[in-house]
Amino acid sequence: MKTAVIIERADVSLGGAERSIFELAAGLSGAGLQVDILAAAGSMDTANVKILCKKSAKRLCLSDFSELLAKYLAENKYDIIHSILPFEFADVYQPRGGAMAQAVLRSAASYQNKALRMLGRFAVNLNRRRKALCAAERKIAESPGGPVIAALSEYVKRQFIEHYNTPEQKIVTILNGVKINHYLDAAEVDKLKRQIFEHFRLDLSAEPVFLLFTANNFRLKGLIPLLKALRVVRSKSTQRPVYLLFAGKSKTANPDGLISKLKLNDAVFYLGKLRDIYTALAVCDVAALPSYYDPCSRFILEALAAGKPVITTKYNGAAELFTHNRHGITLDEPDDIDELAKAIIYFSQTDNIRSAQNAIIADNLRNNISIDRHCRQLIQLYENIMEKK
């Protein structure tokens, strides 16, 4: 089966969605499919990555990319066209960011300022490119025909039904997946561990609890409430002292001022942009992502794959892949600082961490969250589409 996967930019450094596509392509290829990634732009240079716009330019508008794709697809035939962008000619539309209408609402909710929250709800109308994407998605979602929508979680499926009244039979839920087998360099893990202990001036025999947070949008993924909750935790007596490691990059929030205001300079360490998430996960005890919005977070799945308990919210589709109060904790609201603090305090106890780790192993969560499982379900969807064709 010859398959085209359409993505805007072929560059894994941009974030989880881009990394997911390359893992997806590798998984499908490993299952015997011939897979090409079609991108408007990108830095990847491999045989199966086709960059359709060679010139250096700003991000293409949807109509320009559509024209490039139409020309390429007229000359190159595929059995299945799987698109991350809302193109009507695709067989499968898999919105890695969930429904755009929901993303706009939840992004607005992540602002601490009420005026900014109101502005955020209407900001999409000020961005021509974003407005065009939303209109194209709505057209696909409201139409009985067109591509099948492959939702990354039941949370995403509900978004399409609630915002667009999408026919339920048009949506197939295929929960997100990640690579579960990674080589860990023991020397790199030890190096990072020593760096962290030196930063906090801790003896290597100490037994702190390290929370890990990583994102490319600190505001949306809940770093601010996490810092506020950590301030509450640090004011209380806990079995083991709690420290926060955070990583990634973000244009939307600079936490330095808040960290100083909350007097957390001695409890927080910024790791920068991580080359290997699994090295950091090997050092940490708990993954924390009190997200305002996430269709199905890779970070939470990667943490579970590494056997680490997690803390997240009901606004993260990844919560569907673990059991609340067994493998981790799912919060109702990221802004509920007291509940978030209670979750952190719960995992400041060794027995609770160990219990969650044992449950992750006993319940074989690794197989449930693997990219291989995700690919098998996608291939079944492809085969169903091919039969109807």
Strands (E) located in 77-229: 80-83, 92-93, 148-151, 171-173, 209-215
> Which pLDDT score, from 0 to 100, does residue 300 have?
97
> Which pLDDT score, from 0 to 100, does residue 40 have?
87
**116/133 Cα distance (integer angstroms):** 22
Task: Give SS3 for 333.
Answer: coil
**Local confidence band at 52 (pLDDT 50, 70, 90 cut-offs):** confident
Q: What percent of the chain has pLDDT over 90?
A: 77
Question: pLDDT tens across 55-82, in order?
Answer: 655 677 888 899 999 999 999 999 999 9
Q: Are strands 80-83 and 49-51 parallel, antiparallel or unpaired?
A: unpaired
**309/287 Cα distance (integer angstroms):** 6
Of the two residues 252 and 90, the one the predictor is more confident about is: 90
**366/373 Cα distance (integer angstroms):** 10
Question: Same CATH topology for 2-177+370-388 and 186-368?
Answer: yes
Is residue 299 a contact partner of residue 205, using CB atoms and an 8 Å limit? no
**Local confidence band at 369 (pLDDT 50, 70, 90 cut-offs):** very high
Question: pLDDT tens across 206-236, in order?
Answer: 899 999 999 989 999 999 999 999 999 999 9
> Which pLDDT score, from 0 to 100, does residue 316 have?
98
Is residue 97 a contact partner of residue 17, using CB atoms and an 8 Å limit? yes
Least confident stretch, 170-184, 188-202, 246-260, 314-328: 246-260
Q: Is the pLDDT of residue 103 over 70?
A: yes
User: Which pTM value belongs to this model?
Assistant: 0.92
**267/255 Cα distance (integer angstroms):** 13
Question: Residue ranges per domain, the chain?
Answer: 2-177+370-388, 186-368
Q: What does CATH list as the number for 186-368?
A: 3.40.50.2000
Of the two residues 123 and 51, the one the predictor is more confident about is: 51
Q: Is the pLDDT of residue 17 over 80?
A: no
Q: Domain 2-177+370-388: which CATH class?
A: alpha beta
Give the distance, in angstroms, between the CA of residue 162 and the centroid of all CA atoms in the same chain. Answer: 22
Q: Is the pLDDT of residue 380 over 60?
A: yes
